[in-house]
Structure 1
Amino acid sequence: MISTELLDRLANTGAGVTRPAGSTVPGGLFPDWVVEPESLAQLTTLVRILHDGAVDWRVDARGRNWGYDDSRVREPGLIVRLARLDRLDLDVELGLATVQPGVTFAQLNEALQAADTRYYLPAPGSGPHTSVLGNALERGLLAGLGERERHCRDFLVLHRDGELTRLGWEDAADDRVRRALPYPPGPHLQGSLFQTAGYGPVVVELTHVLPVATVQTAEPVLLAGAELTEDLLRCWRDLLLDELVTSTILISPARRRAQGITVSHDGLVLNLYIAASSAGMLRAKVVDVQRLARQHGQRLAARFAGGHDDLSILGGDRNHPEAVGQLPEGLEWQTAALPFVPSLVAAFARAVRTDPVLADIPWTLRPLDARALVWLAPIVYRKKDPDSVALLRRRVAAVARLRDEFAVPAYRSGAVRADR
């Protein structure tokens, strides 16, 4: 329990102090309070108060976990929410954007359009309302291998005692940033530097290298068999490393059915997104993609039409994810980070397909950075149905067994966990 005296000290910094509004996540603990500073000065002051008072706290950017609300903590304490830290500076000559955690993809792109620049930043799967900084550090922007390293440059880091330090990404002699980010992108319990768990140092400012807007795109798909093969994974990795594709996602038949995409092909599908600044460059890239696919024994087809995002499947709206808390059904992610080693990833996929509890679950593979490939399994469950929740628990346990078997990090998720 946080004392009234400490709450008064936090409020006297000028930060907002409120009760949590709720959460879509049935596990974990509700925070006692949510504290929202409006400036770096307020943030550093209140962090020192929390540090001196030995109060357990975690940080989040805008109160979202992969697009959903996630106002939970692992131990009794509070959340420091950085949504009001929303300063945005643009250098249109160099193509740099310096953002605080409260800046969203929508806000950044509105500023780029207003400045009439040739740059843009595509919104990730979590939607335009989510934090640019949080997505860059936690998700790698879902745009391919090395994305985080390619686009993140300069970090202003707040330590748990309130000290601010500026870290550079590119200085070979100073690897403090990589030591502070020892885990692949994604929400997980071990996060040390502005991860969703957020119990370590906090990035409060990030300089982002902006990609040039593309005017020509193509979206073919690779058609694969029912099993994830090493040849397909090698092809996928080469497409990314050769920078022939901008983003990719591997989708299972169950995932396509859940999203309302009906096609005659009953195997895996690798969606590709190819972008170029001219029609001639786009044609050349498409030819290279076709050549590489043939070398790996893969075949290309046109992009499939149709499909809905996960919130639409539940009857929600991705632009208002907080409403999912009132829906009767929920979506649950279980994730596992694997090195992008074809034999290991293929073995993990086979283990998922052969587990009777997990065999019918829609799943997706996304490469997030040079070190890891993440498997996602959206599981629909009925929140007030004991049998449905019990099945979800069994599926969560099955994923945990696979993680142990393959010795992969125990990622954080919205899982229904045992009562504390």
Structure 2
Amino acid sequence: MKTIRNQLANVHKNKLLFIGSFTNNTSPNTLSFYSSSSIITHSPLKVKEELSHVEQASLKITNKDSLTNGDILLARALEHFRSIVGATNVATDEESLSRELADCSGNIRNVPAIVYPTSHDQVVQIVKIANRYQVPLNPVSSGQNWGYGSALPATNQRTVLLKMSKMTRLDMDEENGVAHVEPGVTQQQLLDYLQERNLDYTVPVTGAGPTCSLLSNALERGYGISPYIDHFGAATSMRIVLPTGNVHESMLDKMGGKHVSTLYKWQTGPYLEGLFSQSNLGIVTKMSIALYPKPEKVESFFFFFDDLSNAVSASKEILRCSNGIIGSVKLINNYAMVPMAGPYPKDQAVDGMLPQSYIDSFCKKNQFTAWNGVGNLYGSSAVIKAARSDIKKILRRYGSKRNIFLSANFVHSTSSFLNQIPIVNKTHLATYANVLSKSLELFSGIPNETGLRIAYWKSGERPTDKPWNPSKDGAGIIWYNPLIPITPQDLNSFTSMVNEICKKHKTEPLMTLTSLSDRCCVGTIPLLFDRNNEEEMKRAQVCYHELMNAGQKLGYVPYRLGIQSVNWLQDNNAVPPLLQTLKKTLDPNNILSPGKYGIF
């Protein structure tokens, strides 16, 4: 029999008998395995049996004579996973893998199988089996982390995708406005739940759309629109499966305060729950999230500046005078207004991108300025009336070209009216009215897909008969999102840097500056490209890394990172040693998402 090299394994009495590599040159008809106490020899019949396990697991093996330890361990693990979740909830076929592993940032990873648990107990069992057979897992919720790697693991190490989209249990403490959600619960599902029960609370919406997970957005510290802008800040208790399969309980829970722990974020003793946000130290299978009470009225305001310094100063003052009734304030540059009008105007591009002259002409025609602001007020009619008066005074003082205050109901009625006029409903006016109507719905806590339009600007087809999914629909986007102090000096420095680098790489500098407080904002920069154009995709990736390096020199670094940043974190020695120590202690087999946020 031909010698089989490089790592073979045998599992005997539920114990791993071989880890390492061994070649038996003593007999052409036997095969040897390491054991903790001896070398165990197997006949060709045993080897054939191991190969049968691999084939039954539907794993693709290019050379059966070079079957590896990892192949056999993975095959055995998949057998157990099937026994836990059922055969239909383990996918290894090419069609499923291709569909689920598509990534709108152009990343490719080594994922041989996808496992779909339906309960917390199944996750516990899966993690224990993964440890037993040394099979890394990449846990995701809906897998829609678009622009950051979608559902893919951080590194190219062979990793099984643990997709928890079928874990959709949802219940609520109606009196206190706290929703208890599993990973698969989406924005739309929570909205349906609230509407069916006539509960006056607001969905913590984001621009990512109705089908995205509430739990995973909070864990990645996503931000929203209502005054509860910090979604992880609104998360209270969590049920956490540790990398060994044990389950973490907070001190407050263990003292007997299981209900009150869902109402009080900080628990008792050291706050450990924060370790499981933006990390690979555990799997959160349930989260309690405080919902913002539905206000009497929601009113949006829009303002327009040519000078960024004045726009920043006005925004800062508005945030301070309206604290508690305002969500975020966004400043959107002129380039970022163009995608509202429709697909990328390729016929207007010069040397691979839209020239400044086109942007200026577009904005003049549609009455946009260099910086276009939007904010939202939440409260009673009397409170909003008083805030509106204060905001108008501030905007006039700083020289806003014009100010507009609108309610969602008014815009929706106007949009419906325009769509009924044949001569208007095909024009940009109707398009803007529709986008504005959908935007104001979003500001009111109604999830929709209007925020996803930008992802399709250069490539991808927005489906009309199913939810939008930029990764599966062929869109190309990488997000760059650093934190910047809200000062005119910092934001002028940041925007100048972005303009220069993006244009150097023939990428339109679409910028939105979103306040996280009156002190700090996040710059959300979508690097858009045609995913069918290899050159464009590489340009966007190079542009991203140059922005990362240039921003770092200025002190502007991201609040959130995608899988494309693992090497950058390591190159910059950015991961604190304490995190590496915690990883090795909590996850001695490096099972959960190796390399996520640079943590191994």
Q: 1:346 to 1:56 in 2, by over 3 A?
A: farther
- What is the SS of the residue equivalent to 1:302? strand
**Kindly tell me: are residues 400 and 416 of structure 1, through their superposed partners in 2, closer, same or farther at Cα, counting changes over 3 Å?**
closer
Deviation sequence 1:111-164 (CA, Å, 0-9, x none): 111112222315311111111111223243422676236522111122111122
Aligned to 1:310: 454
Asked if the contact 1:140/1:368 (under 8 Å) is kept, the reply is no
- 1:200 and 1:321 mapped to 2: Cα distance? 31
Q: Is the 8 A contact 2:319 2:518 kept in 1?
A: no
Q: Given the superposition, is the C-alpha separation of residues 67 and 350 from structure 1 closer, same or farther in structure 2, using an over 3 Å criterion? A: closer
Partner residue, 2:300: 219
Counterpart selection for 1:322 from 457, 460, 469 = 469
8 A contact 2:183–2:213 mirrored in 1: yes
2:184 aligned residue: 102
The yes-or-no answer on 1:126 pairing with 2:202 is no
Deviation of the 1:255 alpha carbon = 0.3
Q: Which residue does 1:188 correspond to in 2? A: none
Q: Which consecutive unaligned segments of at least 5 residues does structure 1 have?
A: 182-190, 193-198
**1:196 corresponds to which residue?**
none
- Structure 1 residue 332 corresponds to structure 2 residue 414: no
Please, which moves more after superposition, 123-132 or 206-215? 206-215
The CA deviation at 1:325 is 2.9
Q: CA deviation at 1:414?
A: 7.4
Q: Does residue 351 of the first structure (1) align with residue 497 of the second (2)?
A: yes
**Higher Rg of the two aligned structures:** 2
What per-residue deviation string (whole Å, max 9, x for no partner) do you get for residues 28-73 of structure 1? 4142211111111110010111123332222111121149982322
| In structure 2, C-alpha distance between the alignment counterparts of 1:331 and 1:254, rounded to whole Å | 16
Q: Deviations over 1:297-321 (max 9, x none)?
A: 6566116944462256454149623
The TM-score normalised by the length of structure 1 is: 0.83
CA deviations on 1:335-365 (whole Å, 9 max, x unpaired) are 2234556644443223212334267321112
8 Å contact from structure 1 (residues 227, 350) kept in 2? no
Corresponding residue for residue 17 of structure 1:
90
- Matched-pair contact (CA < 8 Å) for 1:157–1:205: yes
Secondary structure class of the residue paired with 1:130? coil
Residues in 2 aligned to 1:362 and 1:201: alpha-carbon distance in whole angstroms: 35
Structure 2 unaligned regions, length at least 5:
1-69, 251-260, 342-361, 407-431, 436-449, 568-600
2:367 matches 1:264: yes
Partner residue, 2:125: 45
- For residue 164 of structure 2, the aligned residue among 65, 71, 82 is 82
Q: For residues 339 and 257 of structure 1, what CA distance do their matches in structure 2 show? A: 27
Q: Paired residue for 1:147, among 220, 230, 243?
A: 230
Matches within 5 A, 1:240-319: 242-260=323-341, 262=363, 263-276=366-379, 278-293=380-395, 301-302=403-404, 305-306=432-433, 307=435, 309-311=453-455, 313=457, 314=459, 315-317=461-463
User: Which range is displaced more, 257-266 or 101-110?
Assistant: 257-266
CA contact (8 A) 1:27 1:416 kept: no
Matches within 5 A, 1:218-237: 218-227=299-308, 231-232=313-314, 234-235=316-317, 237=319
Q: 1:324/1:41 Cα in 2 relative to 1: closer, same or farther (>3 Å)?
A: closer
Between stretches 34-43 and 114-123, larger displacement belongs to 114-123
Seen in structure 2, the aligned counterparts of structure 1 residues 37 and 275 have a Cα distance that, compared at 3 Å, is: same
Contact (CA 8 Å) 1:157, 1:165: kept in 2 or not? yes
Q: Distance in 2 between matches of 1:416 and 1:208?
A: 29
Per the alignment, residue 386 of structure 1 pairs with 534
Pairing 1:137–2:219 present: yes
Q: 5 Å matches for 1:172-251?
A: 173-181=269-277, 191-192=278-279, 199-227=280-308, 231-232=313-314, 234-235=316-317, 237-238=319-320, 242-251=323-332
1:338–1:78 distance in 2 versus 1, CA, 3 Å: farther
Amino acid at match of 2:287: L
TM-score (norm 2): 0.60
Please show how residues 19-38 of structure 1 align to structure 2 within 5 Å.
19=92, 20=97, 21=99, 22-24=101-103, 25-38=105-118
CA contact (8 A) 1:106 1:128 kept: yes
Distance 2:566 2:530 in 1: 15
CA–CA distance in structure 2, aligned partners of residues 303 and 29 of structure 1? 47
Indicate conservation of the 8 Å contact 2:187/2:210, yes or no. yes
- Aligned pair in 2 of structure 1 residues 14, 369: CA closer, same or farther (>3 Å)? farther
SS in 2 for 1:275: strand
Q: Secondary structure at the match of 1:219?
A: strand
Q: Secondary structure at the match of 1:128?
A: coil
Give the whole-Å Cα distance in 1 for the aligned partners of 2:520 and 2:110: 31
Q: Is the 8 A contact 1:274 1:282 kept in 2?
A: yes
Range with greater deviation from structure 2 (161-170 or 199-208):
161-170
Identity score, percent: 17
Structure 1 residues 202 and 344: alpha-carbon distance in aligned structure 2, compared to 1, 3 A threshold: farther
Q: Does the Cα contact within 8 Å between 2:331 and 2:513 map onto a contact in 1? A: yes
Once the two structures are TM-superposed, the CA of residue 252 in structure 1 deviates from its matched residue by 0.8
Is 1:400–1:410's contact at 8 Å kept on the other side of the alignment? no
Match of 1:360 in 2: 508
Equivalent position of 1:187 in the other structure: none
One-letter amino acid of the counterpart of residue 76, structure 2: E
Pick aligned residue for 1:8 from 74, 79, 104: 79
Moved more, 230-239 or 77-86: 230-239
Relative to structure 1, the CA distance from residue 392 to residue 80 in structure 2 (aligned partners, 3 Å threshold; closer, same or farther) is same
Q: Distance between the aligned counterparts of 1:72 and 1:361, measured in 2?
A: 27
> Which residue does the alignment assign to 2:243?
160
Counterpart for residue 561 of structure 2: 412
Kept in 2, the 8 Å contact 1:244–1:288? The answer is no
For 1:333, the aligned partner's letter is W
- Provide the C-alpha distance between the structure 2 equivalents of 1:89 and 1:31, rounded to a whole number of angstroms: 33
Residue 331 to residue 160, structure 1, CA distance change in 2 (3 Å): same
More strand per residue: 1 or 2?
1
Q: Distance in 2 between matches of 1:122 and 1:274?
A: 15
Q: What's the CA shift for 1:245?
A: 1.5
Q: Do 1:221 and 1:269's aligned partners in 2 also have CA atoms closer than 8 Å?
A: yes
Considering fraction of residues, name the structure with more helix: 2
Structure 1 residues 340 and 148 mapped into 2: Cα distance closer, same or farther (>3 Å)?
farther
Q: Does 1:171 align with 2:267?
A: yes
